[in-house]
Amino acid sequence: MGILNVSSINMHFGGLQALNNVNLDVRQGTVHAIIGPNGAGKSTLLNCFVGRLTPDTGVVDFDGISLIGLKPHEINQAGVSRVFQTPEIFGDLSLLENVMIPAFAKRDGSYRQNLWAPLRGESKIRERAMAALADVKMADKAGMIANTLSRGDKRRLELAMGLVQEPKLLLLDEPTAGMARADTNATIALLKEISATGLTMVIIEHDMHVVFSLAERITVLAQGTVIAEDEPAKIKGHPKVQEAYLGGTHS
């Protein structure tokens, strides 16, 4: 059994069956990609993992606890960090503050901030935040205001915000969407480095170049149903996948 264990998830919006009996098993220390055409239910599935949506039926077990019914902050404290499709950052704060905030959240839980200890005395938190920024090669921009970054840099910042919490599972929602090729390649290299540390990652991605560069296992969704789950090499040749997603044209 893997670190994230999803079974028999059903979810519908009105008359639309968004997820239909979805099963997923993410193994510890792997990069697991979820792919599928637009509207396949990828983001809905991800939202079920982080507490944004509650599935109608089914089980989401993470590291021995059920995530169903937990609030987003509780799921994060259980060890799941998420990087959003559109960068969700603290736009008017500095990069350093952006990364210090999740570091505090991790250390102090939901509410144990010391009112009187001045921020500048928190050297350990600051060091950890700087190290996380260095991990995504942004240490030199620590003092900049986050909103002034390019879209690609905002993504990397969000990645640092996830990494500083040392999560057990990192969820990435289209980490390279809207990026230029050079940025995409830099992100792939970065994610490979992170993956080498043994962190488990679930990636939703449209770009097949990214998927096949990173994923050790791929789940294919179409119309809310899992149509295949296998190693990348086998997924490429899977007839159902070619029909539903790659349209038979992707080599």
Partner 1 sequence: MTVSSSSPRGDMLMMLGMIVAIVFGPIILAPFGAGYPDLMQKFAIYGIFAIGFNILFGLTGYLSFGHAAFLGVGSYSAVWMFKLLSMNVIPALILAILISGLFALVIGFITLRRSGIYFAILTLAFAQMSYNLAYSVLTPITNGETGLQLLLDDPRILDAPLASGDLPLANLFGLQMNSTYETSFLGMTLYFNAGYYLCGVILLVAFYFAMRIFRSPLGMMLKAIKSNQNRLNYTGVNTRPYTLTAFVISGIYAGLAGGLLACTDPLAGAERMQWTASGEVVLMTILGGAGTLLGPIIGAGAIKYFENIFSAFNESELNAVFSFLPDGLREAVVSVASTFVGEGWQLTLGVLFMLIVIFLPGGLLEGVRRILSLFNRPPGGGMEERSARVKSAA
Chosen residue from 18, 70, 89, 244 binding partner 1 by CB under 8 A = 89
Give CA–CA dist 19/55, Å, rounded: 9
Chosen residue from 10, 94, 213, 242 binding partner 1 by CB under 8 A = 94
The answer to whether 58 and 244 are in contact (CB under 8 A) is no
Chosen residue from 38, 64, 116, 123 binding partner 1 by CB under 8 A = 116
The reply to whether 93 sits near partner 1 by the rule CB under 8 A is: yes
Give CA–CA dist 145/93, Å, rounded: 5
Chosen residue from 5, 30, 44, 76 binding partner 1 by CB under 8 A = 76
Chosen residue from 5, 43, 44, 165 binding partner 1 by CB under 8 A = 165
Quick one: which segment of 2-10, 119-127, 191-199, 202-210 binds partner 1 (CB under 8 A)? 119-127
Specify which residues 12 forms β-bridges with. Answer: 17
Euclidean distance between the first and the last CA atom of the chain, given in angstroms as a whole number:
33
Q: What share of the chain is helix, strand, coil (3-state, %, to 5)?
A: 40, 25, 35
Helix orientation angle between 181-196 and 151-163, rounded to the nearest 10 degrees: 10
- Contact pattern for partner 1 over residues 10 through 49, marking x by CB under 8 A: ----------------------------------------
Judged by beta carbon, residue 25 or residue 97, the one nearer partner 1 is: 97
Give CA–CA dist 11/6, Å, rounded: 13
Give CA–CA dist 204/181, Å, rounded: 18
Angle subtended at Cα 34 by Cα 32 and Cα 39, rounded to the nearest 5 degrees: 170
Helix (H, G, I), strand (E, B) or coil at 8: strand
Tell me phi and psi for residue 51, to 5 degrees.
90, 5
Q: What number of helices (H) and strands (E) belong to the chain?
A: 9, 10
The reply to whether 97 sits near partner 1 by the rule CB under 8 A is: yes
The reply to whether 242 sits near partner 1 by the rule CB under 8 A is: no
Chosen residue from 145, 188, 208, 246 binding partner 1 by CB under 8 A = 145
Quick one: which segment of 16-24, 91-99, 198-206, 211-219 binds partner 1 (CB under 8 A)? 91-99
Joined together, the tokens standing for residue 144 give 């900049």
Residue 168 CB, nearest approach to partner 1 (Å): 13
Chosen residue from 7, 8, 91, 192 binding partner 1 by CB under 8 A = 91
Quick one: which segment of 31-39, 102-110, 180-188, 210-218 binds partner 1 (CB under 8 A)? 102-110
Binding residues (CB under 8 A) for partner 1: these are 50, 71-73, 76-77, 81-82, 84, 88-94, 96-97, 100-102, 104-106, 108-111, 113-120, 122, 143, 145, 148, 161, 165
